Every structure is written in structure tokens, then in C-alpha cells.
Amino acid sequence: MQLCKKYRDFTRMNIYQIYPRSFMDSNGDGIGDLQGIISKLDYLQELGINAIWMCPCFKSPNADNGYDVADYCDIMDEFGTMADMDELIAEMHSRGMKLILDLVPNHTSNEHKWFRESRKGKDNPYSDFYYWYDEKPNDWKASFGGSAWEYDELRGQYYLHMFAVGQPDLNWDNPEVVKAMQGVIDFWVEKGIDGFRIDVIDLISKDIANGVKGLGPRLHEYIHDMFGRDNTAHLFTVGESVVKDIEEMKRHCGEDRGEVSTLFQFDHLECGRADKFTPKKDSLRTFRDTLVYWQQQTDENGLLYSLFTDNHDQPAFISRAGNDRELRYETATDIAAMIYLLKGVPFIYQGQEIGMPAAHYDNIDCFDDVECLGAYREMITEKGLSEAEALEKVNFGSRDNARHPMAWDGSAKCGFTTSEPWLIEHSRAAEVNVASDLAAERSVYRFYQQLLKLRGENDAFTDGRFELISKPEDDHFIYTRTQDGEKWAVICNFEKDQQIKLPFDCEEPALANLGRKTADGAYAAYECAAAKVLQ
Ligand code: TEU
Ligand code: CA
């Protein structure tokens, strides 16, 4: 099914996700900042990027590195000033780039004015901005460890926090909260930003009396309150969500719903994982089969699909599913071809474009992430693991593994900063960095450049019909994309060298990570190609 015009336009975006804290430090304090991002816009434009999703850059005490917002309409001190933000918006728009901010509507920081007022008692306008109870109404656990209910001495009641103690949940059943969040969105729309990624959008409607944590009865009403208004209709919006049911996805993303454009759901990245800290090699077959399912479901229903493998919460997928040592270049380029030539809107996480593997830290003091430090403590105190066993598990699944400073070159602080970085640099930054990748004969960056150029030049990749060629038992991912009589084949081998015979003839590949000249024949491990089908 063809996408509506608005969604078709969004498939022409190549979105780069920036974790500002770790992208580029311009003033030598060891923390990435807005001026650092401005200094790298040409690097991104060269890659073929025309949109940026920036993780939260708002005032925050950083209990959860910006996902605990203390003022939605002001810039985090460490990242710079509102003048820097205005400059970033202008510099991006002058390059034809769109800016997508990260909205965190489910909770604020406990240092937000709303919470500071609310905890003073029941007789102030912010009293019911949060969930307050005399006693814990249930035994909910917080995502980052411990109870989801924290007793506040000043107010003399318990408040809800689904994440860290410093992240009290907003009570969306209070119409004043809805109005306040609409004001935040309007402020940034006025500033000229082009869209939002919405954090844990499924959680904003709850039904505590009936034990419902998320996907509550008024969810669509609240999402529509945010994005179903005249001044938001043009925005690109992507909601992070647990939704995996196509009917529910249609209720979120249908073009006429006035809700969001698309969802980030993680079905294709679970790959049969037990839990995020249990070391296990991801299966590329499971990855393929789940991707194919969602590619077909969204295509049949005219929904926009988000194409991503990495973000700031996930260790690098090439380390989970491929060979990030001897075959790091092959793995990184092969997985890029698998996902970014599908139908949808591509998201590339910082470092993916140079095949950056997951980081590994030698001791727990190198970690920063509130989630993994909570999990580490629980593994030792409640599950009886040794420190070494707990360290191995957090090294496998922590979010810090994706939040190390971006490696720009092989110098001491990898070109990220001139002082001590806020998080220890990647142990392989001397080997894997932008400068070394661009100097290499086979460059991941140049492959991404060619891939994004090929995708942008051929409507078959943005609009074309998807057809699966691989069989469930095959150890490869081969598919075609067809539009206006032009058919392209994408051939991605998995980890075994093998002969691949295609059911059609092709021209010489237009894209090939190992430079092959024929679309079929002997494929090396993680070798890939894209070629026009002769018809
Ligand atoms: O993450 C929400 C969410 O999915 C997490 O609970 C996720 O399961 C975990 O981070 C992955 O291990 C969003 C943001 O992406 C995350 O960075 C924030 O910490 C979280 O919300 C709270 O705002
Ligand atoms: Ca800085």
C-alpha cells in the first residue's frame, strides 16, 4: 500500500541520533555540547544525513542524563545556552536539515518547579501534577530498581516514579498537566523545530486503581491532545512504545489519527533475548524474520515503519548479532544493507556509521548509567552474584556501552575533548574512530554514504513494494523492492561463506561491501550487495 504524502516525505529523511553528552565537546569541560554538534554538521551532511534526533538537551540535574527534565523550555547548563540552540536550529535549517527533539512527557525531574511546588502540600496549583498517596497503593517496581513509590517527608505522602527516584511521574489525568505539556510543545514549535521523539509514550496514561501501568484508557486522548492540533500537524513524531499489535499501532500512527507518525518498538531487537543482561548472541535469522513481519504489516496498513538497530539504550547491534572483531567492517555494512534499504524511515545512532562496537569496561567504577548500577547492586545483594559475574552481565547489557564519547580520531581523548571525558572513552577508540575509518581502504562511513545515496536516488527503496526471497531456513536475508516497473535486489549473507543463487538475473551490483561484480555466486561471511534486477 502506498504511504500518504506526509509519510512518503518522511521516508526521504535519513535521521541521525545524537546523544549530546557524548558527541562532541567544544569547550573542554569533558561533556558534549550544542556548539560541538554545530561543528560536526558538515560531517553529517557529507554522510547523507538530513535530520537529527537529539536526546534531551533541557535543564536537568542528570539523574538519568537528561531524561529527568527540570525545565522543558531551557537548555541544560552543560550543553550551552538558548542562543546556542537558536544557532543550531539556524545552521541545520540552512543545510536543509530537520531537528527532532526528545520530549519526555511521562515524568519530570524532582527538581522541576512543578514538583518542588507540588510536594509543598495539597493547597497549591501543582498539587495534583503528580501521583500522591498516603500509603503505597500497589507493589509496583521501578525500572531502575526498588519500589516505584517514594515517601516524601515534606508532603508526608508517597509519589510514583516508574524510573529513578528523581523522575516523578506526571499525572496526565489532571487537565493542567495536559495544558502545561501543550505549552512546552508550542514553545519549541514556535522555535521552528521539525519534530519530536516521545519518550515512553505508552506510560502517560495509567489506571492505578486497576493496576494499569501504561497503555491506559486515555492514552490516545492524551497523544491527540499533544499532536492533533493545527500547529503540530506538520511535525514528524516518533513515539517510543511497547506496542507490538498492528491494530494498536494503527490507532497510534494512522495518517488520520492526529497522533504520532511512527513508533519505536523493539520487537526486531529482542531476537529471542531472555533479559537484557543475560549474555546471548542475537540470531540474525530471528532479526530478519521479525523485521520482515513488521515490514509486511506496516506496508499492508500504510503505516510508516522506523528502521533502526541501535540507540542510546542498546549496546551496539553489531556486537550483539555479528562479529565485531575480525569481521567488524563486513558485519557493520551487511546489517546496514539489511535494514536501511527496507521501507520506512532510517535512524542511524552516532558511531554506527563507523562500525563502532559496544564498549567494555574493566570495573564498575567506569559505569555511569543509573539503570545498570541499580541492576549491578541487585545482582549482588538480591541474586547472590559475585562482583565479577555481575560486572560481566552489566558489560553485556548496560546502556553505557553505547554512551561512550564519540571517537573522532586515535588521539588520547579520541578527539572528543581536550580534558577528562565524563565517561571513559571506548577501549577500542584508537583502533575504531572516524579518522581511521575514513583512511581505511574499506570504510564503513563511505559505505553508508553510498547506501544513503542509492536509497535517495531510487524510489524503489523509499516507496517500492517489499518482497521476501529468502526462505525461513536460509542463512541470508534477500529481498526485492519494486516501484514503477523497476526492481532492485538486496542480498545480505549471514555468518557462513556460501554460494547464493538468485531466482533472477541482475546487473552488476550498484552497492557491494566487498566490491563484488556479480549479484549471485560465492558470498563471504557478512557480504552484501544491492543490484538492479534484469526484467
Ligand atoms: O527508555 C524507556 C525504556 O524503554 C527503558 O525502560 C528501557 O527499557 C531501558 O532504558 C533499556 O534498557 C526511555 C529512554 O530511552 C531512556 O534513556 C530513559 O532512561 C527512560 O526512558 C526514562 O526516561
Ligand atoms: Ca562541553
Distance 313 CA to ligand 1 centre (A): 6
In this prediction, residues 245-255 reach a mean pLDDT of 96
* Spatial distance between the Cα atoms of 36 and 30, rounded to a whole number of angstroms: 11
Query: Which residue has the least CA distance to atom 17 on ligand 1?
Result: 313
Q: Which ligand is nearest to the CA of 420?
A: 2
Query: Which residue has the least CA distance to atom 10 on ligand 1?
Result: 313
Q: Are 449 and 460 in contact (CB under 8 A)?
A: no
Mean pLDDT score across all residues of the chain: 97
Indicate the helix (H) or strand (E) that contains 310. none
What are the distances in angstroms from CA 36 to CA 16, 17, 87? 15, 15, 12
What are the distances in angstroms from CA 338 to CA 356, 460, 502, 504? 17, 15, 17, 19
Q: Which ligand is nearest to the CA of 143?
A: 1
- DSSP E strand boundaries for 234-351: 236-240, 262-264, 306-307, 345-349
- pLDDT tens-digit map of 495-531: 999 999 999 999 999 999 999 999 999 999 999 999 9
Write the DSSP symbol of residue 22: G
Q: Which amino acid is at 469?
A: I
pTM (two decimals): 0.98
Query: Which residue has the least CA distance to atom 7 on ligand 1?
Result: 313
Residue ranges per structural domain of the chain: 8-107+175-446, 113-160, 465-532
Report whether pLDDT(271) > 80.
Answer: no
- pLDDT tens-digit map of 193-221: 999 999 999 999 999 999 999 999 999 99
Atom of ligand 1 nearest to the CA of 397: 12
* Spatial distance between the Cα atoms of 466 and 479, rounded to a whole number of angstroms: 7
CATH topology of domain 113-160: Oligo-1,6-glucosidase; domain 2 (3.90.400)
Distance 442 CA to ligand 1 centre (A): 35
- pLDDT tens-digit map of 54-69: 999 999 999 999 999 9
Report whether pLDDT(224) > 80.
Answer: yes
pLDDT value of position 1: 83
pLDDT value of position 275: 82
Query: Which residue has the least CA distance to atom 23 on ligand 1?
Result: 67
Residue 313 Cβ < 6 Å to ligand 1: yes
Report whether pLDDT(471) > 90.
Answer: yes
Residue 143 Cβ < 6 Å to ligand 1: yes
The number of C-alpha atoms within 13 Å of 454 and in the hemisphere containing its C-beta is 24
Residue 369 Cβ < 6 Å to ligand 1: no
Q: 356, exposed or middle or buried, with CB in 10 Å at 0-12, 13-18, 19+?
A: buried
Distance 316 CA to ligand 2 centre (A): 24
Ligand 1, from 143, 264, 308, 376: best to mutate by most atoms within 8 Å of Cβ?
143
Q: With cut-offs at 50, 70 and 90, classify the pLDDT of residue 429.
A: very high
Residue 67 Cβ < 6 Å to ligand 1: yes
Ligand 2 ion local residues (Cβ < 5 A): 25, 27, 29, 31, 33
Question: Which residues on neighbouring strands pair with residue 345, listed in sequence order?
Answer: 306
Report whether pLDDT(476) > 80.
Answer: yes
Question: Which residues on neighbouring strands pair with residue 71, listed in sequence order?
Answer: 59
Residue 161 Cβ < 6 Å to ligand 1: no
* pLDDT > 90: percent of the chain: 97
Residue 200 Cβ < 6 Å to ligand 1: yes
Contacts 24+ apart (CB under 8 A), 270-275: 271/320, 271/321, 275/397
* Spatial distance between the Cα atoms of 440 and 355, rounded to a whole number of angstroms: 12
Query: Which residues are part of the catalytic machinery?
Result: 199, 240
- pLDDT tens-digit map of 175-189: 999 999 999 999 999
Q: Do 8-107+175-446 and 113-160 agree at the fold level?
A: no
* Spatial distance between the Cα atoms of 412 and 179, rounded to a whole number of angstroms: 48
**CATH code matching the domain that covers 465-532, chosen among 3.30.2010.30, 2.60.40.1180, 2.40.50.140, 2.60.40.10:** 2.60.40.1180
- pLDDT tens-digit map of 3-49: 999 999 999 999 999 999 999 999 999 999 999 999 999 999 999 99
Residue 527 Cβ < 6 Å to ligand 1: no
Report whether pLDDT(332) > 90.
Answer: yes
Atom of ligand 1 nearest to the CA of 370: 19
* Spatial distance between the Cα atoms of 378 and 149, rounded to a whole number of angstroms: 18
pLDDT value of position 278: 86
Distance 237 CA to ligand 2 centre (A): 28
Residue 104 Cβ < 6 Å to ligand 1: yes
Domain 8-107+175-446 annotated CATH 3.90.10.10: no
Q: Are 299 and 291 in contact (CB under 8 A)?
A: no
pLDDT value of position 276: 85
295, 259, 251, 267: which is closest to 11 by C-alpha?
A: 295
Write the DSSP symbol of residue 401: G
* pLDDT > 70: percent of the chain: 100
Ligand 1, from 200, 264, 394, 396: best to mutate by most atoms within 8 Å of Cβ?
200
- pLDDT tens-digit map of 77-110: 999 999 999 999 999 999 999 999 999 999 999 9
pLDDT value of position 403: 97
Distance 275 CA to ligand 1 centre (A): 14
Query: Which residue has the least CA distance to atom 12 on ligand 1?
Result: 313
Q: With cut-offs at 50, 70 and 90, classify the pLDDT of residue 316.
A: very high
Residue 277 Cβ < 6 Å to ligand 1: no
Q: With cut-offs at 50, 70 and 90, classify the pLDDT of residue 461.
A: very high
- pLDDT tens-digit map of 374-406: 999 999 999 999 999 999 999 999 999 999 999
Residue 400 Cβ < 6 Å to ligand 1: no
